[in-house]
Amino acid sequence: MKRVMIVGGPGSGKSTLARILGPRLGLPVFHMDQIHWQENWVERPMEEKLPMAQAVETQDRWVFEGGMSVTYGNRMQRADTLIWLDLPVGLRLWRVTKRLFRYLGKARPDLPPGCHESLHPETLRFYRFIWQTRHASRAKIAKLLAEADEGLKVAHLRSPSEVQAWLDKQP
């Protein structure tokens, strides 16, 4: 594995898996949230995000996790392995809640400096976003995989135990 793409909904474990897999494989890890957000939760304009994502995609070696579905096609063409963390929405909502309280007042390792977790009106909107996009996001990734080249190694993991079993088989 030289270029690993990790996708899935919020709270599915993309960042955690990337942080485990990168060092294990000796690959640099890139988080889409670091491209999407600037300091203090300021969203970066799309005309800045796309070139930043493309700069990562063109590198020879990476673990690149996260959303921004407009880049899925390019990332998938460059990837040799695609991991889809397709966990149940209830579990993902629980994990987002647990993460919120774990990092309350602090920035997570996969976010830019100054993006501190906090309870604010955007938090409720984020939960609503997770719930309302659960079917459409899943369908988008399923369609992407249906269009994948035969040479792409795909791991479609549907539970924490499947994720762990897959990890246990890796070097």
3-168 adopts what CATH topology?
Rossmann fold (3.40.50)
Mean pLDDT, range 18-35, rounded to an integer: 97
Q: pLDDT tens digits for 42-65?
A: 999 999 999 999 999 999 999 999
Q: Of 25, 24, 43, give the one whose Cα is nearest residue 35.
A: 43
From CA 108, how far away is CA 51, in angstroms rounded?
A: 24
Q: pLDDT tens digits for 56-96?
A: 999 999 999 999 989 999 999 999 999 999 999 999 999 99
Confidence of residue 36 (pLDDT cuts 50, 70, 90): very high
pLDDT at residue 84, as a whole number: 97
Confidence of residue 121 (pLDDT cuts 50, 70, 90): confident
Q: Which residues pair with 117 in a beta bridge?
A: 104
Mean pLDDT, range 34-39, rounded to an integer: 95
Q: Confirm if 3 and 81 have CB atoms less than 8 A apart.
A: yes
**Residue 104, C-beta contacts closer than 8 angstroms, at least 6 positions apart:** 117, 118, 119
Tokens for 102, please give them: 């774990």
pLDDT at residue 164, as a whole number: 97
pLDDT at residue 120, as a whole number: 85
* Domain range summary for the chain, segments of one domain joined by +: 3-168
Q: pLDDT tens digits for 124-159?
A: 899 999 999 999 999 999 999 999 999 999 999 999
pLDDT over 90 (residue 160) = yes
Q: What is the pTM of this model?
A: 0.95
pLDDT over 90 (residue 171) = no
